Amino acid sequence: MNCETLIIEPGLAERHYWRDLWRYRELFYVLASRDISVRYKQTIIGLAWALIRPFLTMVVFTVVFGKLAKLPTEGTAPYALMVYAGLLPWQFFSTALSESSNSLIGNANLISKVYFPRLIMPTAAVMVSFVDFVISFAILLGLMLWYQYLPGWQIFTLPLFVIMSFLASLGPGLWITSLNVKYRDFRYIIPFIVQMGLYVSPVGFSSTAIPEQWRLLYSINPVVGVIDGFRWAILGGDDVVIYWPGFLLSWGLIAFFLWLGIRQFRKMEKSFADLI
Amino acid sequence: MSDIAISVENLSKSYVVGHNAAKTERYTALRDVLALNVRNLARKTSDMIHGRAIVQGDEFEEFWALQDVSFQVKCGDVVGIIGRNGAGKSTILKILSRITEPTKGRIVINGRVSSLLEVGTGFHPELTGRENIFLNGAILGMSRSEIRRKFDEIVAFAEVDRFLDTPVKRFSSGMYVRLAFAVAAHLEPEILLVDEVLAVGDSEFQKKCLGKMNEISTEGRTVFFVSHNMGMITSLCKTALLLEKGAIIHRGAATETVTFYYTGGNHSPHVADFTQGPRKLGDDLATLLEASVEDTEGKPVSEVDIRVPFRIRMRYELHTQTAQPPYPNFHFFSEGGQPAFVANSTCNPQAVAAPGIYDAFCDIPGRLLNNGCYFIGLALTFAHQGIRVSFYERAALSVSIVDPIEETLYDMRSGYSGAIPGVVRPQLHWTINRVS
């Protein structure tokens, strides 16, 4: 018989972990498509939720920050467009973070009954937010038509920033979801982080509104780099510039969190079924 | 390549469990409660910093779910695992299927493993039957093309073709379980781990499941089967492991292990001597002395071929002359504890009323009982001045009835190799007349 051999021992780091991950990719697709198709079941307007939420947030932010507080926009871009270019990555980041950090707890029955590389779970959860992101993108196109705004060549670098925000949410997401299995406190922390982050990150205003001497410190929030990158790619033009030291710092922090998240996750993975 | 499918060496698994110590103090002052809470908070925080799991309670204890378990399973073996609740059966399966990690020990597995610890794992109530087949299949380790290839077969097996596009939350529980089992039954791993999943569905469907299980086991795949249903263990498995408190206490042929499970292995189940025990069985009228299961030649046997008659012998002593003779009676129970029947003596009463030692024989014909283990309760009843039970010893003897399927397949089973339900399987007289 053409048998493959598997050895189970305590503490044996599986050499085949990444190969296993690849072998279970089909499960990844299935879980992601399950979450996507379940997301708007039994709702009346269904997918339209992915349009309405960011749209209304944009309107409120434009009125509050642009009209009432009279904050400056970036370059010549209309304020609403500037807000939306920041809102897109923020929404993606925040939903991805909360989905992935709840993914293990929400699938407790699977974790305790079948084996698969657990890394699939939070990653598949992020994919759901990605679908929302793609749908919300339609509004951006609508806004550009409305304002007759033509983006520059920079728009083609957008996928790079999408990957950046994906990694930015995956790192902390992995870290929190594995800790969440042991300590449920983290379930209460996430909504708080997301709520705070909306105001701490430059979503409703441009990061140029931050005084120059504080910008590097401000960039400790990795989302700042992501949002700046999005604005640069979408609004284009020569007058929108990236603040490079802050941008590189964001990448550094994203890489660090990703490393931390994967390490924590791999360390705790074996005991998930016992703790959940 | 060796023909060993699974080899387990010194497998151990421990869990930490917590207790509440101060449950005895009824009147606690607010001060004490606050102090206790502060202490708990401090401990939990330090646990968290050190990366330990939070355990409720004040006292900890290490609990060994499995201790030093070693065994080997050959390719193509069907092995049953039995034992009381908490003996560690499911823990073994969980470790073998890599859901949880052992604390100590080493396992070598040759072949692709699929585990079936629960039917319908990952079924999502909002999704339709069709979507759930793909979802569940993927979770159990089937590839999409494999599922597509077997899709029609699965649907036909589950008998839910009309409801394929209905969310499973609107399914009846029977339909739900049928669909879930159908997916699982079409897995094709080299090693299959099954945990107590057949105890679902109506009897019609259970029969189908058993047939499928049998089919899997005859295809030469290695199957691990945990169940509380001893009938299933004896009919599906060749060998069985008996676990108690995390250790293997018996290993052998399935029927033998099941018998061991019921009797606790502490006395010879087919021959019993009651004069040696600490208490006498009986009263001032009669005493139970000994009993045995014998073949037709009077030789004690523990295993009987399903086609062959055997007899139960009970020796008892009458102490006084009574107006009416006593009636020996034997109470048969199936292995699940269900009463099968009561055999009551109807022999000539006058001859056996005088004091003395008697042997009562009861002949059990072949082709009456089903396969499996039976327990025999021994009783002696006097019928004068109302009913008086002199002694009744529950499960005093046991006998296992074996059904050599290879020989009885066409003789008694009409070619059907699955388990046959029922506490008895009598051979009855049939007539079939052509009416048109």
Specify the CATH number for the domain of residue B227: 3.40.50.300
How far apart are alpha carbons A256 and A168 in whole angstroms? 10
Please report the pLDDT score of residue B401 as a whole number.
87
B292 and B203 belong to one structural domain = no
- Chain A CB contacts of B54 under 8 Å are 182-183
The rounded percent of chain A whose pLDDT value lies above 90 is 22
Q: By residue range, what is the domain housing residue B358?
A: 271-402
Q: How far is the alpha carbon of A139 from chain B, nearest alpha carbon, in Å?
A: 29
- What is the pLDDT, as a whole number, of residue A257? 93
Of residues B160 and B25, the one with the higher pLDDT is B160
How far is A226 from A90, CA to CA, in rounded Å?
8
Highest mean pLDDT among A75-89, B227-241, B246-260: A75-89
Which residue out of A40, A113, A189 would a mutagenesis test of the B interface target, given it has the greatest number of B Cβ atoms within 10 Å? Answer: A113
**Tell me, what DSSP letter sits at residue B128?**
B
Q: What is the pLDDT of residues B21-35, one digit of tens each?
A: 655 555 567 777 778
Q: Given B263, B296, B326, which residue is the final one in a domain?
A: B263
**Residue B151 contacts A, CB cutoff 8 Å:** no
Same domain, B174 and B293: no
A5-9, B109-113, B225-229, B356-360: which is most confident: B356-360
pLDDT at A1: 41
CA distances from B325 to B289, B291, B320, B361 (A): 18, 20, 11, 16
Question: Averaged over B139-159, what is the pLDDT?
Answer: 87
Question: Token match 């077969």: residue?
Answer: B153
Last residue of a domain, one of B211, B229, B263: B263
Has residue A207 got a pLDDT over 60? Answer: yes
Identify the CA nearest to A3 among candidates B4, B36, B158.
Answer: B4
Token pair in block for residue B136: 């569940």
Question: What is the C-alpha separation between A239 and A152, in angstroms, rounded?
Answer: 11
Q: How many CB atoms lie within 10 A of CB A91?
A: 22
Kindly state whether A9 is in contact with chain B, defined as any CB-CB distance less than 8 angstroms: yes
**Strand B271-273 to strand B286-294: parallel, antiparallel, or no bridges (unpaired)?**
antiparallel
Helix %, strand %, coil % for chain A, to 5? 75, 0, 25
> Which residue in B119, B161, B153 sits closest to B139, CA to CA?
B119
pLDDT of residue B178: 83
Cα first-last separation, chain B: 62
The answer to whether residue B144 neighbours chain A at the CB level (below 8 Å) is yes
Q: Does A145 touch chain B (CB under 8 A)?
A: no
Is residue A148 less than 8 Å (CB to CB) from chain B? no
At residue B274, φ and ψ (nearest 5 deg) are -95, -5
% of chain B beyond a pLDDT of 90: 10
Q: Which residues on chain A are in Cβ contact (under 8 Å) with B144?
A: 26, 30
* Cβ neighbours around A153 below 10 Å, total: 8
Distance from CA of A231 to the nearest CA of B (A): 38
User: Is residue B127 pLDDT above 90, yes or no?
Assistant: no
Nearest CB to B190 within list A1, A10, A41: A1
**Nearest chain A CA: its distance from B124 CA (Å):** 8
| B118 has pLDDT over 80 | no
Is there a contact between A3 and B53 if contact means CB atoms under 8 Å apart? no
Asked whether the beta carbons of residue B190 and residue A8 sit closer than 8 angstroms, the reply is no
Flag whether residue B169 sits within 8 Å of chain A, measured between CB atoms. no
Q: Angle of helix A158-182 relative to helix A185-200, nearest 10 degrees?
A: 150
Q: Bridge partners of B315?
A: B290, B359
Residue of chain B with shortest Cα separation from A11:
B101
Q: Which residues of A110-132 are buried (b: 16+ CB within 10 A; e: fewer)?
A: bbbbbbbbbbbbbbbbbbbbbbb
One domain, residues B59 and B77: no
B227 and B157 both lie in a single domain: yes
**Nearest CA distance, A167 vs chain B (angstrom):** 25
B-chain residues within 8 Å CB-CB of A120? none
Split into its structural domains, chain B has a count of: 3
Contact between B143 and A26 (Cβ < 8 Å): yes
Whole-angstrom Cα distance, residue B344 to residue B410?
Answer: 33
What tokens were used for B415? Answer: 């070619």
Whole-number Å distance between alpha carbons of A70 and A189? 32
Judge whether A182 is closer than 8 Å to chain B, CB to CB.
yes
Which among B130, B21, B433 has a CA at the least distance from the CA of A37? B130
- Residues A107 and A101: their CA atoms lie apart, in Å, by 11
CB contact under 8 A, A6 and B117: no
The token pair at B309 is: 């008659």
Better pLDDT: A208 or A89: A89
- Asked if B114 and A106 count as a contact pair (C-beta separation under 8 A), the reply is no
Whether the CB of B9 is below 8 Å from some CB of chain A: the reply is no
Are B53 and A182 inside 8 Å of each other by CB? yes
Q: Which residues of B402-422 are buried (b: 16+ CB within 10 A; e: fewer)?
A: bbebeebeeebeeeebbbbee
What are residue B110's DSSP bridge partners? A5
Q: How confident is the model at residue A238, as a pLDDT?
A: 66
Whether the per-residue pLDDT at B266 is higher than 70: the answer is no
Is A213 in CB contact (< 8 Å) with chain B?
no
- Residues B75 and B28 grouped into a single domain: no
* Residue B25: per-residue pLDDT: 54
Residues B155 and B237 in one domain: yes
List B378's β-bridge partners, or say none: B330, B393
| Tokens (6 digits) for A36 | 């996507």
Of the two residues B377 and B418, the one the predictor is more confident about is B377
Q: Which residues of A touch B98 (CB under 8 A)?
A: 6, 8, 115
Looking at residue B149, its pLDDT comes to: 92
Which pLDDT score is estimated for A260? Answer: 92
- Name the residue with tokens 């105890």: B199
Give residue-wise pLDDT tens across range B196-251.
Answer: 766 556 667 777 777 777 777 777 788 888 887 777 787 778 889 998 888 888 88
Is A108 at the interface with chain B, CB within 8 A?
no
Q: In this structure, is residue B430 part of a structural domain? A: no
Q: Measured between CA atoms, how close is A189 to chain B, in angstroms? A: 15
Least confident of A151-165, A199-213, B51-65, B408-422: B51-65
Q: Dihedral of CA B330/B336/B337/B342: which sign? A: negative
In total, the C-beta contacts within 8 angstroms joining chain A to chain B are 114
- The enclosing H or E element of A191 equals helix A185-200
Predicted local distance difference test score (pLDDT) of residue B216: 76
Neighbours of B133 (CB within 10 A): 28
Q: Please give the share of chain B, as a percent, with pLDDT higher than 70.
A: 88
- Per-residue pLDDT tens digits for B419-436: 788 889 998 999 999 998
pLDDT score of B436:
86
pLDDT at A89: 93
Contact A270 B103 (CB under 8 A): no
pLDDT in tens, A19-51: 778 888 888 888 888 888 888 887 888 788 888
Q: Is B110 on the interface with A (CB under 8 A)?
A: yes
Residues B106 and B30 in one domain: no
B98 and B204 together in one domain: yes
Contact with chain B for residue A109, Cβ under 8 A:
yes
Q: Please, what's the b/e burial string for B222-240 (b: 16 or more CB within 10 A of its CB; e: otherwise)?
A: bbbbbbebbbbbbbbbebb
Average pLDDT over residues B330-341: 82
Spatial contact of A202 and A86, defined as CB atoms under 8 Å apart:
yes
Q: What is the pLDDT of residues A6-16, one digit of tens each?
A: 777 776 656 67
Asked if B41 has any chain A CB less than 8 Å from its own CB, the reply is no
Segment among A85-99, A110-124, B41-55 with least mean pLDDT: B41-55
Return the amino acid letter for B318. Answer: L
In a domain, B79, yes or no: yes
Mark yes or no for CB contact A6/B134 under 8 Å.
no
B-chain CB neighbours of A116 within 8 Å are 139
Contact B15 A274 (CB under 8 A): yes
Q: Do A9 and B102 touch (CB under 8 A)?
A: yes
Determine whether the interchain pair B124/A1 forms a contact, defined as Cβ–Cβ distance below 8 Å. no
pLDDT at A240 over 50: yes
Asked whether residue B1 carries a pLDDT value surpassing 50, the answer given is: no
B122 to A271: CB separation less than 8 angstroms, yes or no: no
- In this structure, of A37-41, B33-37, B147-151, B315-319, the range with the lowest mean pLDDT score is B33-37
Q: What CATH number is attached to the domain comprising B280?
A: 2.70.50.60
DSSP A12-43: ---TTHHHHHHHTHHHHHHHHHHHHHHHTTT-
Predicted ipTM > 0.85: no
Average pLDDT, chain B: 82
CA angle B311, B330, B298 (to 5 degrees): 20
pLDDT of the residue at B263? 66
Q: Cβ separation of B131 and A6 shorter than 8 Å?
A: no
Q: With CB atoms and an 8 Å threshold, state whether A6 touches B121.
A: no
Residue A211: pLDDT over 80: yes
Q: Give the confidence band of A167 by pLDDT, cuts at 50, 70, 90.
A: very high
Q: How far away is chain A from the Cα of B140, in angstroms, using its nearest Cα?
A: 7
Cβ neighbors of A191 (< 8 A, separation 6 or more) are: A98
Lowest mean pLDDT among A245-254, A266-275, B362-371: A266-275
Query: Residue B190: which of A3, A112, A183 has the nearest Cβ?
Result: A3
B1 contact residues in A (CB cutoff 8 A): 1, 3
